[in-house]
Amino acid sequence: MNNRLMNLCLGFLMLFAVSAASAQNKPEFCNPILAGFYPDPSICRVGSDYYLVCSSFSYFPGIPIFQSKDLVNWKQIGHVMDRPEQLNLDSLGVSRGIFAPAIRYNKGLYYLTCTLVDKGGNFVVTAKRPEGPWSNPIWLPHVNGIDPSLFFDDDGKAYILYNSIPPDDKPLYDGHRTIRMRRFDAANLKVVSEEKIIINGGVDISKKPIWIEAPHIFKVGRVYYLIAAEGGTAGWHSEVVFRSTNAEGPYVPYEKNPILTQRTLDPQREFPVTSTGHADLVQMENGTWWAVFLGCRPYRPFDQGYYNTGRETFLAPVAWRDGWPIINPDLEKVQYHYPLPIKLPAAIGATPHGGNIKVRDEFFSGKLDFHWELLRTPRERWYSLSERKGLLAMRVRPETCSDPVNPSFVGRRQQHLVGSASVRLEFVPAAENEKAGMLVFQNEKHFYYICKSVTNGLPVVQLYKSTTDNKSDSRMDLLVSREFEPRVKSKAVLFKIEAHGNTYSFSFAVEKDKWILLSENVDATFLSTRIAKGFVGCMYALYATSLGKSSGSTAYFDWFESAGNDEVY
């Protein structure tokens, strides 16, 4: 092992050890436990291990899966859908694709149910080990809806429940939905009964509750508990609970529902967590109960509801009161800090996922780390980690991130409201249409792109903003262009994107730590979920394109680094 590689390895171990230890050596942990857009969490416990999955929409590989011993420190161990034959995301919009996976374990087998929106509907996959390999999807055409979840009863029966249409497909109001159930044959992976409506509308249909979804059933003693999200995924989001003495109902709602929401709180409060809901519960070995759920972190001005990090995964304790589970008991606000569920020795080697973390990738491992994602299913191999050791080589291809295709795009979630991402790039563009650099990307019509290119034969650094229409051939507007010295044409360049809540700044350098500001106070709300819509959050992406024309060029990324400086931590 050469000295550079040895020093890097030691540095990574020290970085990750410090990050993990700092979370564990305090009596508290910090939320979100998975920062960046990791929405719709589902969790299960097998022995002393916990496994968690999240929605991934049109990113590939699909459905990240994490492992933990303490519910706080999570290590990503893979993806459930990591083979093109499993997951066809061709032509899908960024916020379509994989919705709301649910993970369960029964008799030596892991089961995951999910919905592939616009490309097949509901399916189930199985694995003997949570890290995979997972099976190819078994489609469930009789499950008409979204958010399927399995429940295995202790009498050997299994059920699948899901969000579906109103009775007779005749809605009484906008957002009127039902929770339905079928018996499930776990051995043959198919439904074996007619469906039954177990919840119509929500807690109180006379109040016109909307979007009852994300159902899960738990059995505690002899009582069955059904939890579900209600109110939509924005500020009115909540979690509600019902119970029954029979798995198939009837289910009676808790009179003090919802058991989790932030919708009644002052929108001008400091450092709010909003839109909480879509929860799943788990009981630890020590008998305590906890909930994972999605929430959002707006930036200043807090009451405007702007956030770019998407819907993230939070953790809060659960208390049982008068036979009902209450999430975040005795508190109105979801907290950024709670006492640790249990205290274990710090885990070393796992990329941290919460707090003001710093992550650096030198591309030495020979394969992309699990935290990297591609946009849609790749149909050819356009990147390499072996062409030049320690560099991510990316072919400059005609595909663009403005189109529903698989471009030369390797992305990592923006995890901080205040923080930075930087990269070192080696690239010699052969024509003005060839560009390589770094995106901050929300969707096809909402992104910024800082890149290296050429103009009139001279190297330039450029900053683009996506257009929201199709008038421009490139679907980008040039905001800033600045020439390098001619000698820089064949030299490496560094790019940095800094997030400052409601603004971004973009910088470049040709020498280490000698940053040159290209543009500041760039509107970040343009990339917020409120403006861009959809269900995802922003990605920092390494990206190269020739804007629809053929190219023989290659861009080489030497390293990538992101770091956070969020005030609440």
Point out the residues that are catalytic. 40, 213
- Adjacent-strand bridge partners of 149: 161
Inter-residue contact 458 to 465 (CB < 8 Å): no
Report CA 556 to chain centroid distance, whole Å. Answer: 26
Q: What SS3 state is found at 22?
A: helix
Q: What is the DSSP letter of 401?
A: T
Inter-residue contact 241 to 229 (CB < 8 Å): no
Which one-letter amino acid corresponds to residue 122? N
| Residue of 99, 106, 105 whose CA lies nearest to 121 | 99
Sort 204 into a burial class: Cβ within 10 Å, 0-12 / 13-18 / 19+.
Answer: exposed
| Residue of 304, 327, 302, 331 whose CA lies nearest to 315 | 327
Inter-residue contact 20 to 73 (CB < 8 Å): yes
The pair of three-digit structure tokens given for residue 200, joined into one six-digit string: 């119509």
CA-to-CA separations, 384 to 59, 165, 392, 400, in angstroms, rounded: 19, 46, 6, 19
3-state secondary structure 290-310: EEEEEEECCCCCHHHCCCCCC
- Please tell me the number of Cα atoms within 13 Å of 299 on its side-chain side: 25
| Residue of 286, 285, 304, 307 whose CA lies nearest to 296 | 307
First to last CA, the chain: 37
266: how many CB neighbours lie within 10 A of its CB?
A: 11
The pair of three-digit structure tokens given for residue 226, joined into one six-digit string: 């059904």
| Residue of 386, 382, 388, 385 whose CA lies nearest to 369 | 385
